[in-house]
Chains A and B, each alone.
Chain A
Amino acid sequence: MNILLSYSFSSLAAYFHNWLQSIIGNGILLTITELVIVGVVLLVFLILLAFFLGYMERKVAAFMEIRLGPNRVGPKGTLQIVADTVKLLFKEGFTPDAADKFLFNLAPGIIITTALLAVAPIAFARGFQIWDINIGVLYISSISSMAVIGILMAGWSSSNKYSLIGAMRCGAQIVSYELSIGLSLVSIVVLTGSLSLNDIVESQANGWWIFKGHIPVMIAFVVFVIASTAEINRAPFDLVEADQELTGGFNTEYAGMKFAMFLMAEYINLFVVSAVAATIFLGGWMPFHIGGLTGFNHVMDYIPSSVWFFGKTLFIIFIIMQFRWTFPRLRIDQLLNLEWKYLLPISMVNVLLVTLMAIMGWHL
């Protein structure tokens, strides 16, 4: 029973590794084979995830808007998103005449690549991590800020004025909100003393940071959710796309699969920021424990660690989706005011508080 409770996916990975080793033998070929397998599995998983999130978004939107949502294709409309993908696949991948063709076609690739790369250090379950890098937090925040290059590239190369305005907005927006995200991540790094996501999850074995970090960590959590919604350009911070103002912003000129890649990148980014929030503040794959209630804690332990991780992640995704279907869009100056006048000063003071808390040991 104890083996089941503390089951770590690392043993499964070790088993596969040994099996491949016995077939291929040691060497560069083994590494390449493993990378390819991981890459393909990850890609399939993320595409399915993007499908699921697309379906979920439609259903959440329908729920908020007193509608039914997709209910024709497949059982309960679950295959609607597949039908949409097939449609997008068969559409012409149109490149405008006046566009900078190389950059125009490169941009979706860059955006999707940055989205995929950011998934690497996330711990999906106990011992289930693609890359246990010791600077995971730094890695994620630096990779996700590279998406701005892709968006700027798409906006600039489209040779469309709306796209250009969207790209310029994106530059201002993402660069600003990076700071708040960074500072709210720093507050947990200060408490844990490690940049590794694995260490951060392990440090929450006796309580999630949002509970044992008191009010400063809660503030950091709220700031993180707001700033990451802005970072991934979702409503109410979707000024980069702003259909009603810029007719789609940076992706106005994109169609077919190139557009689908932007869409997929958006959902993967949504998953990544929610997963990071779940990992850092809500304990990742750690089960929910209440001190003293041994029986209750024991029952919680029986729930698999991956269920905990995805449950927490989907909860945050659900919250971010509700933002989109509730709030109107901000104006560009209001957006920057929110960051520079409110979120950033709050996070700076908050980091000081957290540091004080860490020095005094109040969080233990």
Chain B
Amino acid sequence: MLNIKKLHKSYPIGDSSLHVLKGIDLSVEEGEMVAIMGSSGSGKSTLLNIIGMLDEADEGEYILDGVPIKNLTEKKAAIYRNKFLGFIFQSFNLINYKNALDNVALPLYYQGMKRQERQELALFHLEKVGLKPWADHLPNELSGGQKQRVAIARALAADPKLLLADEPTGALDTKTSYEIMDFIQHLNDEGKTILIVTHEDDIAHMCKRIVRLKDGVIMEDVKVEQVRASQYV
């Protein structure tokens, strides 16, 4: 599903440069649910950005679903992002002047889907996250948990191969966090491949595998017994 070999990335800082990723090897199979952990500055977000094609590696190989991701034009990257990836962000990143339904439908718009069709599909996904009655509400009329559920519906709308979540519970309280995790676990049960960046141990243990990063290298890569979030809800 996802194959990364000897990935390097550095950022220029003034005259010198900061070596953030120092040769990462990682492969993820279909249906896995992986937590990427590490303290801040460990390179976990950079890794996620490269996987998400929001950033490009300096060196190394990245193959996603059999497609080598290298030297992409902006246009090609946009198409791949739309087709392969669904993003969930810590701060939700909903467009504040579009209602929940339009937010969910946005990736479908960029796929060139007809309005009628994409409204229906978006509504279907909203229903899946239990927010159908809120379809015409603007983001600022929703609670944090609801916003994140809209964001999840949006990430799912284009039926991506891989779901990338960057601290998805970082802005939520514990109870809501578990609700969201419960939801993400259900998606994984249905077969979605999911990558979660987090620094919280309890969240990490709700995944099936934990990859620990430190100073740009993988320190530890272990399979864990999944803790179901539903027992806390």
Do A and B bind? no
